[in-house]
Every structure is written in C-alpha cells, then in structure tokens.
Amino acid sequence: MMISKKRYLLLLLFALLIFDSCSRHYRHPDLPSNRKVSEYSSDHMKLFNRPYSELLSGDDLPVEGLRSAIEQNLLFLGRISQNQTFQYGSLDYSALEISKSMRLFLSILDRINNTDELVAELERSFYIFGSVANHEEQVMLTGYYEPIFKGSLKKSAEHNVPVYGLPDDHRVLQLERFRKSLRYRTIVYRLLDEKLTPYHTREEIMEKGVLNGKAEVLAWMTDPIDLFFLQVQGSGILVLPSGERLKISYAGSNGMPYSSIGKLLVVEGKQLLEETSMGSIRKYLNDHPEELKRVLYHNKSYTFFNMEKSAGHPRGSLNVPLTPLRSIAMDVTVFPKSALGYLVADRPSFDAKMAYQGSKPFARFVVAQDTGGAIKGPGRVDLFWGNGLLAEKSAGIMRTFGKLYFLIAKKEVLKGIN
C-alpha cells in the first residue's frame, strides 16, 4: 500500500516528537543543560548533567561521622567573613551560601534514609562537579593517619631527635595581597642582610644547628625516621615515658617543595613501585643506615609543630578536628576549602591478624578539611584514616585511582533558604 507524501511527512513529524519527548524525559528536567555544563565548568571542575544515580551509589559508613564532619565545616565557615567566596567550577559561592548548602544537605539526611530517594532529592537541589584529572577523569587516592611514637620532654641518650616549634625568623608572604589569582599561594622566607631568602632546608636544619636559639624544642624523639613520618603525616601523638600522651599538630613548614623518598628509591631501582609503602621505606632505611641521611635529605621540606595535651583527633588546615574516613586533604588552590565531596575508589582490606587481603571498592561522602605538601593539582586526594594499627597499615599501603565529585546546592534553591 502506497503512503502519500503528506501522510509520510506527518508520520515522520509524529515520530520525531515522540523521540524528542522520550529524550527530554530521559535527560531529567532537574539536570543542567549542555549550555550550563559548558558555562559552569572550569579547568579543574566539570559540571555533570548525567543522572545522579550513575554517580552516587550510597554510602558505606554510618552517617553519624558525616554529620559530625559537616558540623565542623560549619564552625569553620562561621568564623570567616560571610562574603568570602569559593569557586565551584566557574561559579562563586560565598561562605554564607556554602553554610546554607551544608545545612540543606543535613536536613535531607535527617528526613531521608533511602538511597534512591536521597539521590533524587540531591538531583533536584544540588549541582555535582567532578574533578577534571588525568587517567580518564580519575584522581590518585592515597591515605594518611595520626601516628603514635615514643617521645620525651627531656633530651637523653635515647631521646635525641628534636621536634621544633615554629622558628622566630620564619616568615610567610601571602601572594594574594599582590595578585588575586594567587589566592592561597604563599612564599616562606627569612631575612638575611635585609633581603628575602629561602628558608633553611631539612639538611641545614638537621646537620648545622641553624635553629639553635631561634626555635623552641617541643619534645625529643628516638628515631629520625619517626620524625620524618610524623612530618609527612602532619600531626601525631607522642607517648612520654610516664605514659602521658601529647598531641603534636602542624604549625608550618620551611616552604621547600615536597619530594617523595619512596619515588627516589623506585627510580634508583631499590624498591618496586607496587611494593613501596611507609613500612617498606622504613625497613630499607633500617637495613641501609649508611643511606639514611642521603635519602631523608632528598626531601628538603621540613615541618614545624605545635604541642597540646587536649584529646580528640588532629586538626586539619581548617583548624577543625578531622573525622576518620570522612576528612580528605586536597589542593586548595584548585578545589574549594570545606567542600562536600563524594569519593568512589578501592580501599585496602585486612584479616583479623592484619594480613593484607587485597582491595575492596567503597563509595562515601567526604569533606575537604585539610591540605598537604604532596597533594598538588586536581588529580590528588588524601584520605584521613585516624590512628591505630589499622589506620597505619591502611594509610601506608593505599595508592589507587578513583572518582571525586563535589556537591553544592543550586543558586536558585539557596535563594529560598533563610
């Protein structure tokens, strides 16, 4: 049976309308348009308009820790100017707007405990940005923890490695004062003959006594390798001979670039990349004491500390306590401080005897509450594990690739929140 040209055109138009209707339904009316994706994305953060169910798959941890971490973020945001802005893609959000977004997220958590409903509500009210990084938009994920070492308040034959506080001649220049595009970037220096001079290196500090009379010795440790790992982690606990525990927290650094001694050993053919961990590095240095100084001094970066007796978890760069398995460290020059994130990756797994059993996938909400000398660029993130043997082993072995997303309430949603 022949179909008339007019009827054929009507059928074709009807089919196109049906296809367009299905297409628009599939795209979800609450998702950003392609134009918004292009307009709102930046060099470091890409706005997503795929169904959120393809990105968010639930949370593998109890929600109490997440609530606590977000409450700490709100404390930070409440202490700074409410007009201070943070960039999500190309969008500027004020501290006040981010606080409202965090409280909105908490209210959603309080009334919804079903993953599908949670994802649907987030799709209606929040944008999701992803880290634009190498390895097919995956970030390299490592771990850090709060180490526990032996220490003393008095120098002795056993305790002879000094833990320094911030030196009197330590200066920090905030480059944002000269150029707004250099926000969060700094230069650490000292004055020498009234001229700005780079601060002392690790080797100069440990070999030449350049801090004598300039920096307080807060405590004494037994092993320079322990001090090195304490500095890499940024905080820790010292157990005194009496059994008393002291908190050691980050106070500043000498401003020198961080150089990985694990990478050095791999490049020199002394360790395999897949086998390198804090434990393997320690073993190598203990087995080859003649190489100890050369390897440690390869990393010119040096960390100074504060000391306190208070309990609780260490504080990150926001000056709020970190939450184990929820707090992450990122590069604050490319990602917004205090951001609510979502992390999808693999984690180390151990049996009851702490023998490594391979890796297992996980997905959870996280909060950006810290930074670190080795955490640079959009392709790096560090997960805080807490303290204890499991934290030490997990952080020491974690090196994997994963996905990192950021959630922030839509501007039009925030306008309706007091």
Tens of pLDDT, residue by residue over 204-224, are 999 999 999 999 999 999 999
Q: What pLDDT does residue 273 have?
A: 85
Q: Is there a single domain that holds both residue 93 and residue 183? A: no
User: pLDDT band for position 11 (50/70/90)?
Assistant: low
Query: Is 232 within the bounds of a domain?
Result: yes
- What's the predicted TM-score (pTM) here? 0.81
Query: What does the pLDDT average to over 237-255?
Result: 91
Q: What is the DSSP letter of 321?
A: B
Closest CA to 339 of 14, 85, 98: 98
- Residues 73 and 107 occupy one common structural domain: yes
Contact between 240 and 357 under an 8 Å Cβ cutoff? The reply is no
| pLDDT number for residue 222 | 96
Residue 375 lies in a domain: no
Q: Is 72 in the same domain as 157?
A: no
Asked, for residue 249, whether it belongs to a domain, the answer is: yes
**pLDDT(53) > 90:** yes
Domain match, 63 and 165 both:
no
The pLDDT confidence band at residue 30, using thresholds 50, 70 and 90, is: confident
Which pLDDT value is given to residue 6? 55
| Domain-ending residue, one of 268, 291, 312 | 312
Residue 10 has pLDDT above 80, yes or no: no
Instruction: Give the residue from 250, 277, 312 where a domain finishes.
Output: 312
Looking at residue 22, its pLDDT comes to 44
Domain harbouring 178, CATH code: 2.40.240.50
Are 116 and 214 part of one and the same domain? Answer: no
Regarding whether 156 and 129 lie in a shared domain, the answer is no
Q: Evaluate whether residue 372 is within a structural domain.
A: no
Q: Which domain holds residue 98?
A: 33-133+407-414
Q: Mean pLDDT over residues 91-117, rounded?
A: 95
286-343 tens-digit pLDDT = 999 999 999 999 999 999 999 877 567 888 889 899 999 999 999 988 999 999 999 9
* DSSP letter for each residue of 88-121: ETTEEEEHHHHHHHHHHHHHHHHH---HHHHHHH
pLDDT tens, 252-276? 999 999 999 999 999 999 999 888 8
Judge whether 321 lies within some domain.
Answer: no
pLDDT at 14 > cutoff 60: no
Residue 138 lies in a domain: no
Tell me how many domains the chain contains.
2
Q: What is the pLDDT of residues 159-170, one digit of tens each?
A: 999 999 999 999
Same domain, 40 and 115: yes
Angle between helices 95-111 and 115-125 (to 10 degrees): 150
What is the rounded average pLDDT for all residues in the chain?
Answer: 89
Q: At residue 417, what are phi and psi to the nearest 5 degrees?
A: -110, 130
